[in-house]
Chain A
Amino acid sequence: MTQQQNAFNADDAKLIRVHLYVGYIAVFLGAIAGLLQGLQRGGMITLPSWLEYYQLLTAHGVLLALVFTTYFIIGFLYSGMSKNMGRLYDGPRIAGWIGFYLMTIGTAMAAVMIIIQEATVLYTFYAPLQASPYFYIGLALVVVGSWISGFSMFAQYRRWKKENKGKLSPLFSFLAVATMLLWFIATLGVAVTVLFQFIPWAFGLTKTIDVLLSRTLFWYFGHPLVYFWLLPAYIAWYVIIPKIIKGKIFSDSMARMAFVLFIIFSMPVGFHHQLLEPGISPFWKYLQVVLTFMVIIPSLMTAFSIFATFETAGRRLGATGVYDWFKKLPWSDVRFFAPMMGMLFFIPGGIGGIINASHQLDQMTHNTLFVTGHFHLTIASTVILTFFGITYWLMPVVTGRKLTPFANKLGMWQTILWTAGMVLMSGAMHTVGLLGSPRRTSYTTYQDHADALSWLPYHTVMAVGGVILFIAAMLMVYIVVYLAFFAPKGEEEYPMGEVSEYAEETPRFLENWKIWIAVSATLILIAYTIPIMNILEYGPPGSPPYRFW
């Protein structure tokens, strides 16, 4: 067993704390935007003239899907590496601060542009709608800041390997490096389109933009982005949850293998967001659909590992029979309960994802509320509930406080409220989406068309779900503030799991990053080279900027 100091390094705690603070400020603001937006779409309120539905939509997406996730993930990954390795080395820690400040400056720039209505383009960009160049520069700074943090984690890992020659890297740290590597490869696409297409165009240096190229580069990034959200949740499931349920990690090598598969297969799949677009041939779309299905495999592996972890933990605690272990799980411990609800949400979430990616089946769901319902199950339930579950112990760890029974109880209610609100909202979204109601659309009846009128009751259910979710979000913010500033001082346990003694030795080739990067690059080239050459060669003249807001 490796030696681990019990006290969490104080300097590292500070760095992690600020990431969590910014993240939860984003939750607070993003939830307000979400509430107003849901009520407006449900036809329950009329927004004042200085506030636009689409502005709220942009803010909601940017704050929750980009800002909260990125800050939280970086903070969480640093915490695990610090715990695994005793501390962050000085270089990586200082780089972490530089990354933090860059991201924060960038976030502030983008936020100001959204508030003054210079960037009502939604966070998926939507060229040739054109935002202020400072919006794009702000987002570029966020990405660059996250790169610096990512590279500091690579440096931390490398130095540890050097100082511990021959030893297997700690599991959490390996998975953290894999996550940041995936993020780096993915963000190359968005960096190229922002630096070489959007910024020159927004400054007027180029007159037109190649819309299809920008969309292709964006979605090259846009899908692995969701794995960047998901993988830290998987880290918690693989490494943290076993400890919380008094079990052991089922298999170290399967966890590593799953993450390696994500690095390989999560990139060459962006076309499944562009299945209904002209200019990309059905053959290349289908090829990427096949590759998309490959990336389901590591999730199937994860499902097995999770259940196996539960079952073996239950049996350690004396469970017999086929399903007794289920009752042995710590259902009243919010550190388990919140992520567990998240895992359950991933069952319908994952199924919806398979359907969306199924080539022509996308014609029923594309750009409808079905998709919105889908990612509220995945990112906004599976991932977010897991992140909340992490927060209950991570916040006390980095503020030197205790998770009290009071906070635990509030957390249980938070999880129940969130689950109830999401079942209502997402259920209604899936159903009405299949009936055809479009996503990202303000309140409308299309001049009282019968179809559109039949959607209104579902939109009302969505709004009710949204109100419950808003209450749950505010409760979460309250718990976070309590754990950060008011809970009694003490030493909270960092639940870092240990590998089961029955798990087999981890093969060392898994640590050979060069192989995985090379395979990933090869697949990206196969999936994208010819389609992008076609776009460049046969594409139409570019588009001038538009500003329809």
Chain B
Amino acid sequence: MFDYAFLILLLPFLSAIVLGLFGMKMPRKVAGLIGTCMLGTLFVLSLYTAYHYFFYTGEYSAMGQTFRVVDGRLSSGVYPTVTVFNLTWLKFTELLTFNIGLRLSPISVMMLIVITTVSFMVHIYSFGYMAERDENYKFEEYEHGFQRFYAYLSLFTMSMLGLVVATNVFQMYLFWELVGVCSYLLIGFYYPKHTAVHASKKAFIVTRFADLFFLIGILFFSFYVGTFNYDLNVNPGLSDKLASIAANPEIAWAIPTALFLMFIGGAGKSAMFPLHIWLPDAMEGPTPVSALIHAATMVVAGVFQVASLFPIYIKFGAIEQLHWIAYIAAFTAFYAAAVACAQRDIKRGLAFSTISQIAYMLVALGVCYAINDEEGGLGYMASMFHLFTHAMFKALLFLCSGAIIVIIGSNFKEYMGGLHKYMPITNACFLIGCIAISGVWPFAGFFSKDEIVSACFQFSPMLGWFMTLVSGMTAFYMFRLYYVIFWGNSYYEQDPENRRRPQEVPFVMWGPLVFLAIISIFAGWIPFGHFVSATGQSAEIHLQHFHFSSVAWFSLLAAAIGISLATWMYMPKHNPVPDMLAKKMPVLHKAALNRFYIDDVWQFFTHKVVFRCFSMPIAWFDRRVIDGTFNFLAWGTQEAGESIRPWQSGDVRQYAVWFITGTVALTLVLLCLI
């Protein structure tokens, strides 16, 4: 039934190849249309796949396996894991092979929808964003490199889809690297800009550094387990093998170590502290890219990875590692929220918000201590739910900010203010995004975030309160952003003669905004637990049935406080409070503005420590010591030659002297002997 599913990988690949090789020969618009049409097809294909996967009743087979399903579920009540194809790509040994395949499980189908939806919207939106405009925002021509942009987007979509449908960790790693490179290429899209090049380099190297741990984790895993497969449902021998390893005290450390090492790779991609430093800089890329890669899809790869390996974490003795993840993530959530409160660049503000929200998802996974929802497995579902809703509203927020940037021509809040009059649709959409992320009923964020906080309370009340506090901060910084952009002092009105009058963006841009806004409003009402849960069984989300627990009330309260505080501080045209606060606590404000100097620490580490302490001495050593040794040998030989060279002067008279002296000496010696 899913025989067509190979197209999900093939179509974007073909489109990337075609656009990459021949794009420059095409008119820009044609190239864009090819990419977009392909993604439209892919979007439909994903919806179709999801529909069949979740609602099909009947029988189908894939890879020789037959599934008898009712409403998509097997008789055991769980959704099947369908391996559509699984080709051997590389053979390490007879048993250990590197396969590339396509596997459908509830979360990968969910990811298919997320990726194709956001990617499709971004493809459409880019027609408006990636264009050069004249004084009056009139469209002139698509930007230079428009074809390249769509080629990259296609390649990225292919890689990301390949990542989520991976049948084994190594395939995940392969596509993981590919998305990293796409991210590199797209961040550095405006390559003449120094900052963009620098940011792209940084993003790639930091994530690559983290990927090293992922790779080592895979090596450990494959060595002890003897396979790269991770899905317990489709690999019958795997559970036994893992259980036997966990039971053997000598090598029981291997699984938790491998998993945690893999998580470090995930932490790099998902921007966990202290590997988050690349993400804010990654905002140098075009805004649609930020929305797609650095908000909705690639950065949640880490969460997806942990979720994929979740059953192994829980069942085979790595629960403690899961909790470490929770602590790291909780700290990151707080840190990023604090930094977000002081950013001047709206995209960077959103980037920190993304870090904070991804941390939420990881906290939710980390606080789990069982598979079952009631006994501590709630976080899994909550995390996936939040991943889904967050992808939608964060993509929305980024696309809105892109719309603003197109109109204003700058990322900095000083040039904005008072835009609600001029950009009503964007204003509404941004507001919806803000409400959704702040967790206000009945918007999407409320449901997913509340599930997370509930899961935290289940684990430890301390953490629960902490996360509630962070959600209050979320509401505060998001509304701060909203007010400084759309309300407050208008930059244009201060000098209307000389400044461009802002206006609403064209339909090709606000269309996707509205679409995503609608999803952000209603996504919370999707019975998500029905589709995705740790056990695979259908689970209820109580909030959707108006069963508000005290947890829900508290987080609503926190959101309300955050929003009102932001409204009080930033909505009026003149309010001295923010500046006063900044003046009162100059150190803290400055530190927050400079992201608590983590970047500087990294900079110091890479430039001063690695370059100065390793590379330079080694290069010096190579030139001086090793080369010196060989040069010395050569010099020694030459000197030795030089020193005996006078003996062979070619001067006959000198030879005669030697000859005669020798003869005389020899005669004398002979005479003496006689």
Do A and B pair up? The answer is: no
Q: Which residues of B contact A (CB under 8 A)?
A: none
